[in-house]
Amino acid sequence: MLADAVPLYPLYALLFSAHGLSDAEISALLAVWSLTGVVAEVPTGALADRFSRTGSMAAGGAVQALAYVLWTAFPGFAAFAAGFVLWGVGGTLVSGAVEAWLYDSLVELGEPERFRRIYGRLDACELLAQVPAALGATVLLPLGGFELVGWVSVATCLGAATATVRLPEPARSDDGAVSAAGGVATTEPAEPGYVATLRAGIVAAARGPGVRSALLVVALLTSFDNIEEYFGLLAEDWHVPVQWVPLAVLGIPLAGAVGALIAARVRDAWATPLLAAGVVLFAVAGLWAHPAGLALVAVFYALYRAVLVVVEARLQERITSDARATVTSIAGVGTELAGLVLFAAWALAGLPAALVLAALIALAVTPGLRSRNPGPSGAVRPHTTGEGTR
């Protein structure tokens, strides 16, 4: 969750363009990013479960900093590709670990029902961090070009990693490992070791009640968040001057933050119509192709992020294994695979193809958005206590 908080983030697509890369080459780089996530997502999730969620998050920031070092010191397609490999690994070290750390911390406090509200706030903070990042990019770019922006981004990542190390690690059971086999959490003799942790996460994802459908919904919906990588290029295509692109797209993450904040008030039944309305507004903006259309994109993003927080919370509520980061990372693998489709669609036909894909995703996840949260026996239950999460 460090990526959006650096000044290079709103400019990196323009950095690639400034060094002569085509839209197809930029999409190829983004595909490298996603493929790295596919390979590294679950193994790094198991590392977080086996050793330390906070340590995993801190390592993610350090690896991301190294990616920006490559981009800044050796700009070119090869360095950009290597940087995306590092960024991909750094992202997987954070992905899953954040959700697991937060949910288990709330379980320790006896308040897991607060996850949706607090995760929405965390998501909003991530999006709001793009405000100082965009302002910083706007100030730094005229002063020192992409080089200055890159080195400040490196320092930002290292500072975040240092702060993350100081977060408390929530306690986990010492006397047993949780098994989700058969859909019922039971305590077994501990199976210490990385492989056992990885296996427990895979079993929980495959057999936990309602987990597979929740994983699919989260993976498909989250994959479309890759569209934000193209917001800067959209603004440029819609005749926004390059130096004003970071500020022009600033309203989009702000709107997304509002959506994340109100997610706790969004009823599950509203998820499908909100998502559909957002896709329609995005399509209208694409047809308009005017700088003012970015306002419609912002509304789309607010609705989309609200639904995203809702489905992520439902997934965490259904996981009954201690290998929570591993299970969540499995959704990340699906996200990266589906994200490759978005990158390919954009490379082939730009925004129109991406909008068609958005409509298909909305149709595909509709049954999952309408389903409720089943208990261990398949009955619907509200998640109001921490019982059964260990």
DSSP string, 178-201: EE-GGG--EEE----SHHHHHHHH
Q: Which of 245, 238, 289, 277 is nearest to 358 (CA)?
A: 277
8 A C-beta contact, residue 45 and residue 96: yes
Confidence class of residue 306 from pLDDT cuts 50, 70 and 90? very high
4-38 confidence digits (pLDDT tens): 689 998 788 889 989 999 888 888 898 898 789 88
Is residue 380 domain-resident? no
Q: What count of residues does the chain have?
A: 390
Q: What's the mean pLDDT in 311-328?
A: 90
315: number of CA atoms within 13 Å, CB side? 32
Is it the case that residue 273 has pLDDT exceeding 80? Answer: yes
In this prediction, residue 3 carries a pLDDT of 61
In this prediction, residue 133 carries a pLDDT of 86
Termini Cα distance of the chain: 26
Q: What's the mean pLDDT in 73-90?
A: 95
Quote the CA–CA distance of 177 and 276 in Å, as a whole number: 41
Confidence class of residue 367 from pLDDT cuts 50, 70 and 90? confident
Is it the case that residue 108 has pLDDT exceeding 70? Answer: yes
**Pair of tokens at residue 22:** 């085509």
Q: What are phi and psi of 177, to 5 degrees?
A: -115, 145
134-184 confidence digits (pLDDT tens): 889 889 999 999 999 999 999 999 999 999 999 998 876 543 344 434 444
DSSP string, 135-160: HHHHHHHHHHHHHHHHHHHHHHHHHH
Q: Which amino acid is at 277?
A: A
Mean pLDDT of the chain: 85
Residue entry with tokens 């650096």: 6
Is it the case that residue 188 has pLDDT exceeding 90? Answer: no
Q: Which of 135, 231, 251 is nearest to 259 (CA)?
A: 251
Confidence class of residue 372 from pLDDT cuts 50, 70 and 90? low
Using CB atoms within 10 A of its CB, is residue 122 exposed (0-12), middle (13-18) or buried (19+)? middle
Quote the CA–CA distance of 137 and 63 in Å, as a whole number: 21
Domains of the chain: total: 1
Quote the CA–CA distance of 114 and 134 in Å, as a whole number: 31
Is residue 350 domain-resident? yes
Q: Is 17 helix (H, G, I), strand (E, B) or coil?
A: helix
Q: Is 76 helix (H, G, I), strand (E, B) or coil?
A: coil
Quote the CA–CA distance of 107 and 385 in Å, as a whole number: 8
Is residue 160 domain-resident? yes
Is it the case that residue 216 has pLDDT exceeding 70? Answer: yes
Return the CATH number at 60.
1.20.1250.20
Residue 118, H or E segment:
helix 115-128
Is it the case that residue 186 has pLDDT exceeding 60? Answer: no
In this prediction, residue 384 carries a pLDDT of 36
* Neighbouring C-beta atoms of residue 348, cutoff 10 Å: 13
Helix then strand count (H, E) for the chain reads 16, 2
Q: Is 374 helix (H, G, I), strand (E, B) or coil?
A: strand
Is residue 252 domain-resident? yes
Q: What are phi and psi of 254, to 5 degrees?
A: -60, -45
Is residue 291 domain-resident? yes
Q: Which of 34, 88, 94 is nearest to 342 (CA)?
A: 34
CA 274 to chain centre: 20
Domain that holds residue 18: 3-169+194-370
Is residue 90 domain-resident? yes
Quote the CA–CA distance of 232 and 235 in Å, as a whole number: 5
Is residue 174 domain-resident? no
In this prediction, residue 172 carries a pLDDT of 64
8 A C-beta contact, residue 141 and residue 11: yes
Residue 177, H or E segment:
strand 177-179
Q: What's the mean pLDDT in 182-193?
A: 49
Name the residue with higher pLDDT: 348 or 283. Answer: 283
Is residue 20 domain-resident? yes
In this prediction, residue 77 carries a pLDDT of 94
Q: Is 267 helix (H, G, I), strand (E, B) or coil?
A: coil
Name the residue with higher pLDDT: 368 or 107. Answer: 107
Q: What are phi and psi of 186, to 5 degrees?
A: -130, 155
Name the residue with higher pLDDT: 337 or 377. Answer: 337
